[in-house]
Amino acid sequence: MLDLLANPTALAIACAVLGLLVGSFLNVVILRLPPRLYARWREQAEEVMSQDLAADEAEDRPSPTLGDHQKSVELDAGQRADAAAKSRPPDLVFSRSHCPHCKHRLAPWENVPLLSFLALRGRCRHCGKPISWQYPAVEAITALAFAACALELGLGWQLLAALAFSAFLIAGSGIDLRTQLLPDELTLPLLWLGLLCSVAGWFVAPAEAIVGAALGYLALWGVYWTFKLLTGREGMGYGDFKLLAALGAFTGYAGLLPIILISSIAGAVLGTAWLLLRGSGRATPIPYGPFLAIAGFVQFLWGDALLGSILANAGG
């Protein structure tokens, strides 16, 4: 088996198939993680507000006994926990997939990456409503990204880290496109993964990774505050800072400038096309995370080759 996977073509095909499977799970992450985060934030806010309210009531109207007041608070907390558990969105692993329109639970054969979409002709078998193109798109993009990593890196631990790197970027980009949110649950693990990879000496040295992460965060932090001071508006979110920090951990500080340049070009071209397709005006906010992810992936796999080609052409 290992001899077969040592063949570049066979390894790329195997990773592409793995990418289809992982892409199917990434669709679940893209769709279910934001509602779960919103629900958790709402629970935390309600808990803090209820504690403040209980404290105010205790000051204004003393309870008959401290024990009665404590029991009342515990009862309210239990009721809130029960209500939150019932209304909590489905989890990422154990809840079965279903049609978002009619809630029909999908049979196993309806959940095969890409093939099910083609077999069902892009429509739910139960209600006939169209299936979002996000599902096959994410699966295909993940398969292509995994195959590209396999062709560039070959079989080894570096490939496993690169596949994880790609999966985090795709999930984060999908969430950012849908919600304009880059969760810490994705950007921070990616940052730590990049720093740990540098300790193993896989992609860049530890000093390059640490400086790259710090400069990546500070670069967009500076752009954010400069734009806000000049215009009074926010041009990007803190998730973008953390994503560029993670990319800096993987590519080192030398990769930051190419990433910013590539993401700016991709944002100008693809962002304009996206606005035109949606019929939106220029004032419509465009998430920057997907363009950073594209640029980071390109720099991570082909940055040295691109730089060498540019220098060769410039010298010629």
According to DSSP, the residues that pair with 33 across neighbouring strands are none
Distance CA 66, CA 142 (A): 58
Contact 246, 191 (CB under 8 A): yes
Question: 92: Cβ–Cβ under 8 A, 6 or more apart, which residues?
Answer: 28, 29, 32, 33, 36
Contact 76, 91 (CB under 8 A): no
Q: Residue 57: what pLDDT?
A: 64
DSSP letter at 125 equals: T
The pTM (predicted TM-score) of the whole model is 0.84
Which residue, chain included where needed, has tokens 């808990």?
Answer: 47
Q: Residue 246: what pLDDT?
A: 97
Q: Residue 277: what pLDDT?
A: 75
Q: Residue 166: what pLDDT?
A: 97
Average pLDDT of adjacent 10-residue blocks, the chain of 316 residues: 74 95 94 88 79 65 53 54 62 75 76 83 80 91 96 93 97 94 95 96 95 95 86 82 96 94 88 76 79 95 74 56
Contact 276, 227 (CB under 8 A): no
